[in-house]
Structure 1
Amino acid sequence: MLPPTIYSAVEHGQTIEEKMIEIIWNSLSPDAWEARFATIKRSTLTQSYAYARAVAPQLHLRGRWGLIMRGEQEAGLAQLLEGNTFGGILSALILDRGPLWFDGYGTQADWQGFLTAMDKEFPHRFGRRRRLILELEDNPAHRTATEHLKPNKNLPGYQTAWVDLTADAETLRSNMRRDIRQRLKKAEETELEIQIDLEGKSLKSFLLGYAADKARRGYPGPDVKTLAAFARTFLRDKKLLLMQAVNSHEVLAVIYILIHGQSATYQAGWTTDAGREVSAHHLLLFKAMQELKNRGVNDLDLGGIRTDGAAKGIADFKLGLGGQPMTYLNGFY
């Protein structure tokens, strides 16, 4: 890791809480980062260390890991991806669905202090391209806290839904929309075998099936190269969960879920026509919720919701699973 550096938000006119916010960069070992990350409720995939290991080489960027301090207390974590060319004249900076706050932190003053510290270290200048996607729900208070930032019209507010996995199986079922429950019951009455793979044995067949299904149906989603990169990093710690529904040795549906801290993200999946006929995907996700809970995962991020074009049907399915819909602020420069 790089030597630690400290940047603070200490400006005239700030509140006491804002004055106490500092970001200490690259001071934690990977194990120390992961230990802190594991304490955060609803941690995001894009702020996980394994995500940076997978994505940074593809984008020709490097990771930067920040420990956010309020005075002497650790307040949160922020993972950036950055890169530069021509001796730093041109540079890129990405903060994707962060920062993440420890319990008791993340007040509006904390956010303003963090953003001030970021602006101080990474000010707007010619040649620097910033992309900030903040893990902030879209509401009036948060819009006020970010009104000094320049909105990026190419980054509309991210939408997803979070499923609370601490509930028991019957509560998870009852929280689902009626038509989803009916399809789930239909799937349960079909003799489907659910296979769980934490070693990547079915990865190749999943990727081939996913690529063909995505090309045929035209829905948005991560490309095969990215999913393969995720697999290489997440499989090391058995944090990639592949589950498939099989009937008479025929694979009807597969889901691909990434585990990060005490949260997980539904990243991709595909279903055959025969699988849709028996609602195999419904059964897979319900079984996955229980499997994740058994592995200490408390929250499932359903992986983004888009209601346009070919994604509309997928969005309707996700919204029917009983999660808490969330819309975050648009992105910023």
Structure 2
Amino acid sequence: MAGQVTGNSKRQIHLDWNTLDQVTWDGFLEKVDNCALQQSWAYGAALKEQGARVRRIVAYDGNHPIALAQVIVRSWFGLVKLATLMRGPVWLEEVSPQTRQEVYRQLRRLYPRRKMKFLFLTPEATGPEESALLEAAGLKQVITGYTTLFLDLGKSEQDIWLGLYGKWRNKIRKGEREGLKVLFGDHGHPKTEWLLSREKKQQRDKNYKALPVGLIDAYARHSLGRDVVMTAFVFNKESDPGKDDPVAGAIFLRHGNSVTYHIGWNGPDGRKLHAMNILLWKSILELKNRGCTFLDMGGMNTADGAEIARFKLGSGGEVATLPGTYL
């Protein structure tokens, strides 16, 4: 259902929702340097299959679109509505702090708490200024900041290589000397189900929650472009990829010109051979070749996942901590 909310800003900032089609939405995201997976149309469509409602909001300055915000809404007992805006809005251009504050204010007004509607907003922004704008818009922090790591794939191959930690480069060289083979595919690759089954077991064994593994198939079906799901598998030099299992594997999801490291699995043999280092390096080169400009390496949890955090830091990317979740 389409709708509109108008503010009293002198510049006439207002919100429309559910008025764009997927081609237009995706077209906007293609022009953004670094957008989050959670703001892609296909991500919302995949969650809609699991019973969520999706509200796709456009913020306008007059008739000019300045931001997109995909909100996922779930109802509890038919009374309480919990809306999540993860890693958005996506700003389509540079706007003033006053404009950002007004957009945050109008987003909050869409979900009045007196009517048992609650918006949990996790903006894709950094710095104390954003926190001040959110609070001025009537929002309060309820969860501390999420930390991730970005790799700029727009840099040259040489610059990315030199940005890797020295130990990382050594492990890649060792993998190459061992004759490790990295093969790429899409979500239909014969080894994809093998990787997803290990991801399920990994979630159980390590007691952590992640997006449902079934989201990958739905994400691919609801995406307009090709190569939105990239799988990568590492095989021993003696292995037959048609018969043998990989020693490591990963899945990357593309959204706009950005891509997210979604799933990674490394077996005992893979750890001995440092397979994930060569997997990620070869994947970086492949993603660059496909026109991706930013790689989101995913969350950094130094308390419960120190080993994974160290691995990601070794890639030489830029650590970014978001302001947190606001209600």
What's the TM-score, normalizing by structure 1? 0.89
**Which one of 186, 189, 210 corresponds to residue 199 of structure 2?**
210
1:239 match: 228
Partner of 2:242: none
Q: Mark the CA change 1:187 to 1:86 in structure 2 (over 3 Å): closer, same or farther.
A: closer
Aligned to 1:26: 18
Q: What amino acid is the match of 2:45?
A: R
Separation in structure 1 between the aligned mates of residue 326 and residue 154 of structure 2, nearest angstrom: 34
2:82 corresponds to: 92
Asked whether the 8 Å contact 2:3–2:17 carries over to 1, the reply is yes
Q: 3-state DSSP class of the match of 2:82?
A: strand
What RMSD, in angstroms, separates the aligned Cα atoms of the two structures? 1.9
My pick for the range that moved more, 296-305 or 72-81, is 72-81
Uncovered stretches (5+) of structure 1, i.e. residues with no partner:
none
What are the Cα deviations for residues 200-257 of structure 1, in whole angstroms up to 9, with x where unaligned? 22211111222334444x263525xx12222232256431111000012241100111
Measure, in 2, the Cα distance between the counterparts of 1:158 and 1:210: 22
Residue 54 (1) aligns with residue 40 (2):
no
Deviation at 1:179, TM superposition (A): 1.6
Q: How does 1:1-333 map to 2 (within 5 A)?
A: 2=1, 4-10=2-8, 16=10, 19-58=11-50, 60-84=51-75, 89-105=79-95, 107-137=96-126, 139-148=127-136, 149-153=138-142, 155-201=143-189, 202-216=191-205, 218=206, 220=208, 222=210, 226-234=212-220, 237-247=226-236, 248-249=238-239, 250-309=245-304, 311-333=305-327
Worse overlay, 281-290 or 231-240: 231-240
CA contact (8 A) 1:177 1:321 kept: yes
For residues 42 and 219 of structure 1, what CA distance do their matches in structure 2 show? 30
Provide the aligned length of Structure 1 versus Structure 2: 316
* Aligned-pair identity (%): 25
| CA distance 1:170–1:221, shift in 2 (3 Å) | farther
Counterpart secondary structure, 1:116: helix
How far apart in 2 are the matches of 1:297 and 1:96?
A: 22
Q: Read off the aligned partner of 1:132 and give its amino acid letter.
A: L
Letter in 2 for 1:130: L
Q: Any conservation in 2 of the 1:151–1:330 contact (CA below 8 Å)? A: no
TM-score (ref. length: structure 2): 0.90
Counterparts of 1:49 and 1:240 in 2: how far apart (Å)? 14
**Equivalent residue letter for 2:44:** A
Give the residue type in structure 2 aligned to 1:305: M
Q: 1:230, 1:167 → 2: CA distance?
A: 28
Distance in 1, matches of 2:131 and 2:219, equals: 35
Question: CA separation of 1:84/1:207 partners in 2, compared to 1, >3 Å: closer, same or farther?
Answer: closer
What 5-or-longer segments of structure 2 have no aligned partner?
240-244
Alignment partners' CA distance in 1, 2:75 and 2:47: 16
Q: Give the stretch that moved more between structures: 298-307 or 244-253.
A: 244-253
- 1:293 and 1:220 map into 2 onto residues whose CA distance is 31
**Separation (CA, whole Å) in 1 of partners of 2:123 and 2:251:** 25
**Would the aligned equivalents of 1:98 and 1:135 in 2 still touch at CA under 8 Å?**
yes
Aligned-partner Cα distance in 2 for 1:67–1:214: 36
In 1, Cα distance between equivalents of 2:128 and 2:77: 41
- Structure 1, 140-149 or 47-56: larger mean CA deviation: 140-149
Counterparts of 2:14 and 2:204 in 1: how far apart (Å)?
46
Q: CA 1:36–1:186 in structure 2 vs 1: closer, same or farther (change >3 Å)?
A: same
Counterpart-to-counterpart distance in 2, 1:207 and 1:299:
24
What is the one-letter code of the residue matched to 2:292? V
Q: Conserved in 1, the CA contact under 8 Å of 2:112 and 2:118?
A: no
